[in-house]
Structure 1
Amino acid sequence: MTSAVSRRWRPRSLLQLVLLAFLMVMLPLAVLMFQAGQALSELSRLAEQSAREAVQETRRARTLGALALEMERGARQYAVVERESLLAIFDDRLAEFRRLLARQRELLPDDPDVEALSGLLDRLAELPELPMEAFEARLGDFLPFARHTEAMRHATNRRIDERLDAIRAQAEAVQHRLWWQTAALVSASLVLMLLFSRLIVRPVRQLERRILGIGSGGPPARGAPVQGPAELVRLDERLDWLASRLDELEEQKQQFLRHMSHELKTPLASVREGSALLSDGVAGELSDHQREILELIDASGSELQQLIEQLLDYNLLQHNRRLETERLDIATVVKEVLAKHRLSLQQKGMAVTCFDGPLSWWADRTATGHILDNLISNAIAYGEDGGELEVRARVEDDWLLLEVANSGEPIPEEDRPRLFEAFYQGRIRRKGALKGSGIGLSVAADCARLQHGSLALVDDPRLAVCFRLALPRPADDDDTPDPVAALAAHDARKD
């Protein structure tokens, strides 16, 4: 039921999910931009209107002051020259002053100076009707008239300043509101980004875990099915097919190795048994030349058996064989492996130098024996005739460092990065009748990793080839030191 609902609401493709995420994340930002544009438009309109009204009101106040001055000048000139035209000009200025004062009253409805000017205008309007003596006596009314006109101009300026302060306060309020809206909408965008990122990243991480599980070679751990875009769901289905296909191929490989080892070991046992019977003289005495050929056949059979055993060891290690650690005398293990190769070393004419025991350490006997056997076999196969073979061991910083070094041709630099890859064969050719399989060092490196150690090719000041096995001291917990770091620290101290 849950899976069906989730699939119903899942975007059809990754492109649709990305586009939907983009639109959802941009939606709060678009709302923010729209609201900011509206607020800025409103503030711009108020500022423009306020500026226009301020200019008009300031101009009107100045005009009223100029009219008051002209009215007083015209009245005083009439008192001197008594020309009727001056009274006509006086009447025109008075009417204009009254009209502008009525408009100024809208700006200053309760201003006492405006009220006083209205009363004085009524008194000044009576001047043309008065005789000359009374006219001259009333000229003193222009002094309070000019004073109230100037006071009205200052009141107009104050009212304009108050209006500008109100617009400024409104702009600050809009700014604070925009900041809060910005914080809220950007936070919403971030939450949506995280949500859609999780919707995209979660199935990708599920696929990554599936790929890592398939590549690790362990048992498949099938988790919850991938729920996301159709492309990722199809990829998850392809991974299921790939995992089943890899299981089939692994089973075929194991079956091939089992059959091959059985089919090869059976005739090989007959060959080696026949060569042993011939060596014992069952078929009669052998000449020296025949015995030399028989020894070559027996040596080749031994090498072929060793190759088969290496393949079996490689197959076993690929299935993560469990370790059986025990306290061993490493010197004894080394001597056992050297005794196994005694005849080959004598035939090679190599001088063997081994460290003195005892040296007790916790390790897996079989895995450690495989490592030493492969290293010594390589030293015999690739070392120089009549050369040197040294096996050294020491303990440093809770690590056992076991080195197998031999003289001969050094390993080329281009071969070193791939030296421990399975089935890789370098440029130096193996000495002997049979060609190597290229898995000996891979098996040895796997045996070292099983014991939480490492196998590395290191530089030796005297011998051309030196392999170093590092095994950690077991601890009560799983906090095992890094072998690569320990070896690097040891090399740094040596330098």
Structure 2
Amino acid sequence: MTSQVSRRWRPRSLLQLVLLAFLVVMLPIAVLMFQAGQALSELSYLADISARQAVEQTRRARALSNLALEMERSARQYAVVEQPGLMEIYASKLEEYTALLEAQDRLLPDNPDIAALTEQIQTLEALPTMTAEEISENLDAFVSFGEHTSAVREATNRYIDNRIEGISAQAEEVQHRLWLQTAALVSASLALMLLFTWLIIRPIRQIERRILTLGSGREPAASYLIQGPAELVNLGERLDWLSVRLNELEAQKQQFLRHMSHELKTPLASIREGTGLLSDGIVGQLTPRQLEIVELIDTSGLELQRLIEQLLDYNLLQHNQTADSECFNVAALIQEVLNKHQLALDKKGMQVSISRQPIEWMADRDRTARVLDNLISNAIAYGEDAGRLEVRARHHGPTLIIEVANSGEPIDSADRERLFEAFYQGRARRKGPIKGSGIGLSVAADCARAQQGQLALVDDDELAVCFRLTLPWNGDGILDNDKQAQHSMLKLDSDARNRQV
């Protein structure tokens, strides 16, 4: 059942999470687009208003200059011709000038030129009531009037220029603000993208780790819940179910192997006991032909027992990977393993050569013996009749090297990559009545790995097949093998005198 705790903070499906991620990531970009549009609209409106006002103010300033010239012209003409209509024109232009000046005063408050013009207008308003001679005497007032009018026009132009500069500064400020907003909102979008990417990737990685754990055969230290969309949570629950099911199948397999081994060894022990009684002549003397058949049955039973023991070894090694290190003599161990196969070697007619140099080494003796037993057994089974078998041992500092090589047919290159896989049997055919199980080399490789060592097929200059076992020193310190060899030399020489190998 999907945990309710895992659903508090997440959508119920992967599609909802992706859509939510898209909407949330796009939200800062949409805000940025809206703010940019608002800023551009504001600048566009401000520029339009400023342009209109600038045109209007420029026209008003120009109109003031034109009206001042027309007023001066009408006054001078009246002073010459004294035509009443000219003063009417003058009064009309003065009234229009006064209205424009008031509007300009609102644009440029506290302007000294406008204040001077306002005072002069009071004087100029009295001209229509004066005689021609009085008007002629006051015509000089139009000189300063025109100068102040020109000054007002220049002040208006400066005001418009300042207004344009202000708009430019405001545009730069808006641009700067938009850049900051863009950086902030784009950063927020990237952060949201990373967040939602993590929310999507995290359960996938959890599932990946769970699958790798299942594939490696190791159970996690504690069960953990996949957190994420419902589809991935359900997938994690299916993986938990699969893990439980695999454990059940593994337990059934182990139980089957134990029962099968027990059921096979019980009748096999009776068969071997019977062949032993027949060989000893308990039930009567056997003819040579009968004795040969009994020995064949006993040999086949021994081979079958060895296959069963290999199967049990493989089963044990799958669940016990700890090594029990002890110091032992490598040469003595090699001789001990060879003694177990002496009858098979004699029957095969193989010439055996072993390393007689005593080497004291710290490792798992039982597992090392099991590796040698499987390699020598393979050499007997697949090696050449009346061929050669060599077992070499040497050490380089903290590393022990043992090589088991035999003559015969080389191992096919297609079989080399899968040579140490359990239950894999290559193209080479086993010599003898019993077919191999295909787990001997797998058991040997597992024994080597349990000691942090390695078993590998290597090329040899003299013999066709050569397996090399490499073991590290699994103790606190390295012993001086030259000094430790003396106490085991007597035993090794005694064994060599008793049996010529």
TM-score between both structures, scaled by the size of structure 2: 0.80
Distance 1:98 1:271, change over 3 A: same
Per-residue deviation, residues 111-140 of structure 1 (Å, max 9, x unmatched): 111222333445445556654444444443
- Superposition deviation, residue 318 in structure 1: 1.2
Distance 1:240 1:5, change over 3 A: closer
Give the letter aligned to residue 38 of structure 2. Answer: Q
Tell me if structure 1 keeps the 8 A contact 2:362–2:475.
no
Distance 1:399 1:134, change over 3 A: farther
Count of residue correspondences = 474
3-state SS of 2:323 partner:
coil
Stretch of structure 1 that moved more, 273-282 or 110-119: 273-282
- Superposition deviation, residue 326 in structure 1: 0.9
Residues of 1 paired with 2:87 and 2:329: CA distance? Answer: 138
Partner in structure 1 of residue 285 of structure 2: 284
Stretch of structure 1 that moved more, 185-194 or 244-253: 185-194
- Superposition deviation, residue 369 in structure 1: 1.4
Stretch of structure 1 that moved more, 173-182 or 262-271: 173-182
Residues of 1 paired with 2:122 and 2:313: CA distance? Answer: 126
- Superposition deviation, residue 419 in structure 1: 2.1
Distance 1:110 1:303, change over 3 A: same
Distance 1:293 1:86, change over 3 A: farther
Partner in structure 1 of residue 315 of structure 2: 315
Distance 1:324 1:62, change over 3 A: same
Stretch of structure 1 that moved more, 239-248 or 277-286: 277-286
Per-residue deviation, residues 163-196 of structure 1 (Å, max 9, x unmatched): 3344344445545555555565556556655655
Partner in structure 2 of residue 485 of structure 1: none
Per-residue deviation, residues 21-50 of structure 1 (Å, max 9, x unmatched): 443344344334333332332233223322
The sequence identity of aligned pairs, in percent, is: 66
Per-residue deviation, residues 43-93 of structure 1 (Å, max 9, x unmatched): 332233223323432343344345445555666677678778876766665
- Superposition deviation, residue 300 in structure 1: 2.8
3-state SS of 1:418 partner:
coil
Tell me if structure 1 keeps the 8 A contact 2:430–2:436.
yes
Partner in structure 1 of residue 20 of structure 2: 20
Distance 1:73 1:279, change over 3 A: farther
- Superposition deviation, residue 316 in structure 1: 0.4
Tell me if structure 1 keeps the 8 A contact 2:79–2:133.
no
- Superposition deviation, residue 257 in structure 1: 0.9
**Paired residues for 1:16-55 under 5 Å:** 16-55=16-55
Partner in structure 1 of residue 273 of structure 2: 273
Partner in structure 1 of residue 484 of structure 2: none
Partner in structure 2 of residue 297 of structure 1: 297
Partner in structure 1 of residue 239 of structure 2: 239
| RMSD, aligned CA | 3.6
Distance 1:239 1:92, change over 3 A: same
Partner in structure 2 of residue 306 of structure 1: 306
Residues of 1 paired with 2:222 and 2:369: CA distance? Answer: 37
Residues of 2 paired with 1:171 and 1:354: CA distance? Answer: 95
Partner in structure 2 of residue 483 of structure 1: none
Partner in structure 2 of residue 56 of structure 1: 56
**Paired residues for 1:216-235 under 5 Å:** 216-218=216-218, 221-235=221-235
Distance 1:149 1:320, change over 3 A: farther
Partner in structure 1 of residue 105 of structure 2: 105
3-state SS of 2:417 partner:
helix
- Superposition deviation, residue 382 in structure 1: 2.7
- Superposition deviation, residue 311 in structure 1: 0.5
Partner in structure 1 of residue 339 of structure 2: 339
Tell me if structure 2 keeps the 8 A contact 1:317–1:446.
yes
Tell me if structure 2 keeps the 8 A contact 1:329–1:357.
no
Distance 1:396 1:147, change over 3 A: farther
Partner in structure 1 of residue 252 of structure 2: 252
Distance 1:70 1:369, change over 3 A: farther
Partner in structure 1 of residue 150 of structure 2: 150
User: Can you give the 5+ residue segments of structure 1 that lack an aligned partner in the other structure?
Assistant: 478-495
Partner in structure 2 of residue 445 of structure 1: 445
Partner in structure 2 of residue 408 of structure 1: 408
Residues of 2 paired with 1:186 and 1:164: CA distance? Answer: 32
User: Can you give the 5+ residue segments of structure 2 that lack an aligned partner in the other structure?
Assistant: 478-501
Give the letter aligned to residue 345 of structure 1. Answer: L
Residues of 2 paired with 1:251 and 1:77: CA distance? Answer: 128
Residues of 2 paired with 1:54 and 1:305: CA distance? Answer: 112
- Superposition deviation, residue 468 in structure 1: 2.6
Distance 1:339 1:78, change over 3 A: farther
Tell me if structure 1 keeps the 8 A contact 2:325–2:475.
no
